[in-house]
A and B are shown apart, each in its own frame.
Chain A
Amino acid sequence: MTDEVAVRIRGVSHAFGEQGDTRHVRALLDTSLDIRRGELLCLIGPSGCGKSTLLSIMGGLMEPAAGTVEVGNQLVRGPMPQEIAFVFQENALFPWSTVIENVKLGMMFQGVRKAEREKRAKLSLEAVGLAEFAEHYPGQLSGGMRQRAALARALSLETGILLMDEPFGALDEQTRMVLGEDLSVLLSRTDKTIVFVTHSLGEAVFLADRVAVFSARPGTIKEIIEVDEPHPRKPEFITSEKFTRIRNQLYSLLHDEIRKAVSQSAASQRAAADKSSRGAQP
Chain B
Amino acid sequence: MAPAPASEDMLATRDALATREVTRRSFWRRAQAFMLVRPGLARLGVIAVLFGIWEIAARFYVDKMFLSPPSSVFTSLHKVFLTNGVPAALRLTFFELFIAFVLSIIIGVSVGLTVGLNRFSHRSFMPIILLLYGTPQITILPLFILYFGIGAASKIAFGVTHGMFPIMVTVIAGVQNIKPILLTSAKSMGASRWHIFRWVIFPHMIPSFFSGMRLAMTGVLLGVLLAELYVSTAGIGYYTTLFTQNFDPTKLLGLISMLAAMAIALNELVRRAEVRFSRWRSD
Residues on A facing B (Cβ under 8 Å):
281-282
B119 interface hit (Cβ, 8 Å):
no
Residues on B facing A (Cβ under 8 Å):
37-38, 40
Chain B residues, Cβ within 8 Å of A281 = 37
> Interface SS of chain A: helix, strand, loop or mixed?
loop
How far is the CB of A18 from the nearest CB of chain B, in Å? 11
How far is the CB of B45 from the nearest CB of chain A, in Å? 16
The answer for the CA separation of A282 and B39 in the assembled complex, in Å, is: 10
The answer for the CA separation of A281 and B37 in the assembled complex, in Å, is: 9
The contact sample of 4 A-B pairs, CB cut-off 8 A, is A281-B37, A282-B37, A282-B38, A282-B40
Chain A residues, Cβ within 8 Å of B37 = 281-282
Chain B residues, Cβ within 8 Å of A282 = 37-38, 40
> Interface SS of chain B: helix, strand, loop or mixed?
helix
* Residue in A closest to B39 when the chains form the complex, CB atoms: A282
* Residue in B closest to A282 when the chains form the complex, CB atoms: B38
- For the complex of A and B, the 4 pairs showing the least CB-CB separation, nearest first, are A282-B38, A282-B37, A282-B40, A281-B37
The answer for the CA separation of A282 and B38 in the assembled complex, in Å, is: 7
The answer for the CA separation of A281 and B40 in the assembled complex, in Å, is: 13
* Residue in A closest to B37 when the chains form the complex, CB atoms: A282
How far is the CB of A1 from the nearest CB of chain B, in Å? 49
* Residue in A closest to B40 when the chains form the complex, CB atoms: A282
The answer for the CA separation of A168 and B40 in the assembled complex, in Å, is: 43
The answer for the CA separation of A280 and B38 in the assembled complex, in Å, is: 13
Chain A residues, Cβ within 8 Å of B40 = 282
How far is the CB of A218 from the nearest CB of chain B, in Å? 27
How far is the CB of A23 from the nearest CB of chain B, in Å? 14
The answer for the CA separation of A156 and B37 in the assembled complex, in Å, is: 44
How far is the CB of B29 from the nearest CB of chain A, in Å? 13
The answer for the CA separation of A282 and B40 in the assembled complex, in Å, is: 9
Chain A residues, Cβ within 8 Å of B38 = 282
How far is the CB of A279 from the nearest CB of chain B, in Å? 15
The answer for the CA separation of A256 and B37 in the assembled complex, in Å, is: 40
How far is the CB of A282 from the nearest CB of chain B, in Å? 7
How far is the CB of B4 from the nearest CB of chain A, in Å? 38
How far is the CB of B279 from the nearest CB of chain A, in Å? 15
The answer for the CA separation of A194 and B236 in the assembled complex, in Å, is: 74
How far is the CB of B100 from the nearest CB of chain A, in Å? 37
The answer for the CA separation of A281 and B38 in the assembled complex, in Å, is: 10
How far is the CB of A22 from the nearest CB of chain B, in Å? 16
* Residue in A closest to B38 when the chains form the complex, CB atoms: A282
The answer for the CA separation of A281 and B39 in the assembled complex, in Å, is: 12
* Residue in A closest to B41 when the chains form the complex, CB atoms: A282
How far is the CB of A64 from the nearest CB of chain B, in Å? 24
